Structure 1
Amino acid sequence: MNTADLNSNFPVDFVRSQFPAIGNSETVFFDNPAGTQLPDQVFRAMQRTGADATANLGGAFARSIAAGEELLRAERRAAAFLGADDPEEIVFGPSMTELTFQMSRAIARTLSPGDEIVLTNQEHEGNFSPWLLAAKDFGLVIRRVEVDPESWRVEQSALEEQLSNKTKVVALNYASNLTGSINDVHALTKSAKSVGALVYIDAVQFAPHDIVDVKSIGCDFLVCSAYKFYGPHLGVLWGRKDVLNDLPADCVACTVQHPNAKFERGTPQYELHASLNGCLDYFEDLGQKLRPETTGIAAIHAALELAKYHEDALCHQLVNGLTDIPGVSIFGISDPSKMDFRVPTVSLISSSVPHKVLAEQLASAGINVWHGHNYAIRILEQFDHDRNNGVCRFGIGHYNTATDVERAIVAVAAAHDKSQAVA
């Protein structure tokens, strides 16, 4: 079966029916890189937990036991979702940024003044500022890798130029939240490991669009955000168990010193654990619909795999349509032969319409997009773009349609026609 067949057979109408915010709505949701809409299963799981399992952990009574079971199920399924086996390697937190702040400081406390941390200009600020501030507080040195202007990726050779025997941490972006570029994290991790560095990967923008496998990558940490893959506002971090065990954690005296629990301070967010399970239930149900012979993580992978074909076809349509509009360029990969190296997050730069104005005009047409720097200021600075104007960013999800894309292209073209008429 070829890509076109997979795309035409993807049950997008069924998918849309699972999302209460979408349903028969006329709104086009292209704001997905900042947060996706939620399927019914998430709401049902949250309601069920509120009714049956709202209690603190460790009690002998039924509701406490049920809350603990929901948490363990969430840990197990999150581990499987990221390609791991051990639930104790999963740390939950409010967001990717919050988890990265916590882990960066825990790691920095194990380093010595003069040790080096390598960052890339492709990072979301949530995987840049925490390391920058930790370096300042602990006397560490920051080295930076630029994005290749031809490939729009962090190239292995550029990373290796910044590595040395003093390199202790390499923080990498799996897929850019601004350009959509996918880095070869397997090769980059291999280079970092050659000098004995820990590898910390931000997979927030990759996880909604493809299968993550931490074992295959060989990294030490990988973090993502459930609300970017149709789940609740919950950050999810996988860490190699031996590394988590050795890291210091700021916690109260009676905290159970499990490798993950010591980083989860205070009362757990039970309703969010349940909602994450609901999100993964949704993907499993979708995968079973698409490939009835699959169950569990295999069904989830089937859903992700076939959704990817659907999203990729829409991304081709969007990039092709936008590049045909005079005054519009793509900030990222637009070469049709290289589209496999990007996720369907597409940023445009307009030479005639301020991006805030363009986003407002799109909003008035019922199309939700983001504008500005989108917390990716380092790459904008590298390419000499005004961070305040930034870009206008479109993010495709598996509930989007070809009609959504066409509406967006027409609206962007109309905004530029209007600007030319005014001029």
Structure 2
Amino acid sequence: MRKNSVFFLGALAGTCLTLLVSGPRSEFWIAAAKAATSSDTYVQLNLLGDVFERIRADYVEKPDDSKLVEGAINGMVTSLDPHSRYMNEQAWRDMQETTHGEFGGLGIEVTMEDGLVKVVSPMDGTPAAKAGIMSGDLITYIDGDAVQGLTLEQAVNKMKGPVHTTTKLKIERKNVDKPIDVSLEREIIQVKPVSFHTDGGDIGYIRISSFNEQTEDGLKSAIADISKQIPQDKLAGYVLDLRNNPGGLLDQAVDVSGTFMPRGEVVSTRGRTPEETQRYTAKGGDITKGKKLIVLINGGSASASEIVAGALHDHKRATLIGTRSFGKGSVQTIIPLGTGNGALALTTARYFTPSGRSIQAQGITPDIEVLQDVPDEFKGRSDTKGEASMRGHLSAEGAEQTGSQAYVPPDEKNDKALGAAYDLLRGVTVKADMPPTPKTTVPN
């Protein structure tokens, strides 16, 4: 993945698209047929063309060629892993809106699992969060229509609509016998990825809920405002809350890490060959002037949030508190496929922390594990299964780890992980390596 998380794969992507759009009578197919005797790949491509032509000629009703092509692309891409996917033109526009930080909808980060839409995390302050939708919920029906059989993009599009209109979802929850019916009013979702407040006049609390194009600026603004509210000689440190943060843009994860680090590697990405390895380093310096830092993570912390936690941990810049993170350690490169053709989100590499640990299907383990007291109505559905439980996931380079608590109490007074962070910063609880001593053995 390169700057802005978008780059072109090159001729291969263009060839595949032309292969499907041109139809079996194109010059490509003629060339493929000639090469069939010498290449198993071209034999399979010829088979695909034969099936495409047979459907067009003999299906009981006249099929829509564009839908056949899109279905073939979706089938090919979704056979790879849970995070590779094809986005048609509308889905591509929707994704761009999301990364810019404003879009219409319900405010749910979702993925696909066993043919159903699974909630990764509801976004703070959105209709989904207000309605009580939780991480791990499975959406089975949208406005009375079954989700089974839809692609992820089709399901997401059904949940979108004009502002102030209503959509009804049927949800299945672990250890809840009956499906739950939820009615939500659509809103313009303005994703404000950073929120903050001060606690007791000596600690700055900063929550990052997602990594979009506004995250770095929001973080720097939050730190500046905290510095105005709390004099430096009274500031005990910062709590950076990344719990239930599903991730986002790689460059923002690098920039956020660099806000707390004077220098050093943040993350590396490693593809199929050694030549594809990329290393991303901190820039700009630690604007918190080395103040103590605690990072909160849990089972809903994924992707970009795991990169930040891993970098700050490996450099001994922060102490991690909470539960093991999700384990989404793969890189999706966004490959635009030309005007009107959408884009391909293709898994191209794995993430590695500065010390060389893979995040994939393992996650980040906190220095101090703190389990929350879960109310009875949420017991049995407060844990995430993690990346390792997803069908078709990339294998780990070590022992895979599944499942971790993802519940965050709505009232800070009952938030044990946050309380532990405050106690550690104030010296109520003593830990030998708090604050950590910056590590010099990781790449700089």
Structure with higher RCO (Cα < 8 A, 6+ apart): 1
The structure with the greater share of residues assigned to helix is 1
TM over 0.5: no
- Normalising by structure 1, we get a TM-score of 0.27
